[in-house]
Amino acid sequence: MAESTDAPPDGRTWSTPALAVLCLASAVLLSATGLFLGAVFLHVAPANSLSREYRDEVDGLVYPEFEQNWKLFAPNPLQQNVALDARVRTVADGGATRTLDWTGLTAQDIAAIRGNPAPSHADQNLLRRAWDFYDGSHSAQDESPANGRGRLAEQYLKRIALQRIGRTAEGGRILEIQFRVTTTTVPPPDWSGENPPPAPRVRELLWWPVNDEDYRGLG
């Protein structure tokens, strides 16, 4: 019997069902990526009929993780330095409660950024954008939510701080957490002749209770 001269096929041969699954998965991924990029574009683009019609859907996708601090074609540089601190109230095994000193959350980020040639996006923007999200959804007079995203903003800010502090502090279990924000206007250059900036503004939020649900999913 003569030997077959057919050469074995090169590479993997995919079956028809496998090719169908791969094509379907690729189509889903491409569609999801396109929808996400389209939503982000509508978020940063100037207001138009399409962005107004789908504003709720776009906001639901973008906030809070993907919010941008600028508008397309019109960058708005920051003119204030915002320092966020947190302190906690703990309870020991014997039942005694303590209010601990303030922890500089923004100072931690600055320490991680300074001298780092490639600082992480989280160190640069996570905490700052979380505060912007809270500030834009609450009344500065009584800290009440001003829109439907207020409670989400509170939870987001609280979980960022608790992820850093942990479940206990100085031997006690955390019962409550409080935030303090100091806003300092960036001074103008000496040659500008402008008036010096006002004194820094300090804003203390209310005490928020802490429970096990606040730690769900935190590493």
* Cα Rg, the chain, nearest whole Å: 25
pLDDT of residue 194: 85
| Same domain, residue pair 50 and 90 | no
Same domain, 87 and 58: no
| In a shared domain, residues 55 and 87 | no
Do 134 and 191 sit in the same domain of this protein? yes
**Is 93 found in the same domain as 175?**
yes
54 and 149 share one domain: no
Tell me the pLDDT band of 199, cut-offs 50, 70 and 90. Answer: very high
Tell me the residue range of the domain where 100 lies.
80-215
Q: pLDDT tens across 121-151, in order?
A: 889 889 999 999 999 999 988 999 998 899 9
Cis preceding linkage at 64, omega within 30 = yes
Do residues 85 and 57 both lie within one domain? Answer: no
Task: Answer yes or no: is 68 within a domain.
Answer: no
49 and 126 housed in the same domain: no
What mean pLDDT, rounded, does the chain reach? 88
Is the CA virtual torsion 199, 128, 137, 143 positive or negative? negative
Is residue 210 situated within a structural domain?
yes
User: Is this structure's pTM higher than 0.85?
Assistant: no
Q: Give which of 129, 143, 136 is closest to 65, Cα–Cα.
A: 129
Number of domains in the chain: 2
